[in-house]
């Protein structure tokens, strides 16, 4: 084992960005427009309901990303995890920065880090599981 050396290969983030750009862009637009409409039209609508609906939309996007990776590349969960993490990073930053639209508050600075980190973990885990489980599903049915 002493003579074996591994060649370091950098991660091609352009590849992962190409996998997630359209689903994440669509979800970001839907979320921003929905939040603006809800804040203008439904004043008695609770913020908890809005966040629940938005998380469901985000999960659908991460499931879609995982499914597309599973169809294109087969069972390669690490690709799913990195694609979900990069999608979560982009979506988390967009949504966190949108929260500054209503004004500056100190908690929004902390939200920039915490919401983005949470979105990275949720995106990576969801896409990883979808890629992994999607390949197992047909095997169980046969």
pLDDT digits (tens, 9 = 90+) for 60-105: 999 999 999 888 888 888 888 999 999 999 999 999 999 888 788 8
What mean pLDDT is reported for the chain? Answer: 85
Q: Which long-range contacts (CB under 8 A, 24 or more apart) does 99-104 make?
A: 102/39
Q: Supply 77's token pair.
A: 């969960």
User: Is residue 141's pLDDT more than 70?
Assistant: no
Q: Between 137 and 63, where is the model more confident?
A: 63
Q: How far is CA 73 from CA 27, 79, 88, 131, in A?
A: 23, 9, 20, 9
Q: Between 35 and 85, where is the model more confident?
A: 85
Q: Which long-range contacts (CB under 8 A, 24 or more apart) does 9-15 make?
A: 11/82, 13/86
The count of C-alpha atoms lying within 13 angstroms of the C-alpha of 66, restricted to the half-sphere facing its C-beta, is 26
Q: What would the DSSP string read from start to end of 42-103? A: -TTS-HHHHHHHHHHHHHHHHHHHHHHHHHHH-S-HHHHHHHHHHHHHHHHHHHHHHGGGG-
């Amino acid at each position: 084992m002493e003579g074996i050396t591994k060649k370091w290969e950098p991660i091609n983030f352009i590849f992962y960005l190409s996998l997630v750009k359209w689903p994440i862009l669509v979800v970001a637009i839907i979320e921003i427009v929905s939040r603006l409409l809800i804040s203008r039209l439904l004043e008695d609508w609770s913020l908890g309901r809005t966040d629940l609906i938005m998380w469901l939309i985000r999960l659908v996007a991460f499931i879609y990303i995982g499914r597309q990776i599973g169809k294109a590349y087969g069972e390669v969960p690490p690709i799913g995890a990195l694609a979900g993490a990069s999608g979560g990073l982009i979506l988390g930053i967009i949504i966190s920065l949108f929260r500054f639209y209503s004004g500056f508050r100190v908690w929004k600075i902390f939200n920039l880090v915490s919401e983005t980190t949470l979105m990275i973990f949720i995106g990576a885990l969801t896409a990883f599981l979808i890629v992994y489980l999607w390949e197992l599903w047909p095997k169980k049915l046969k």
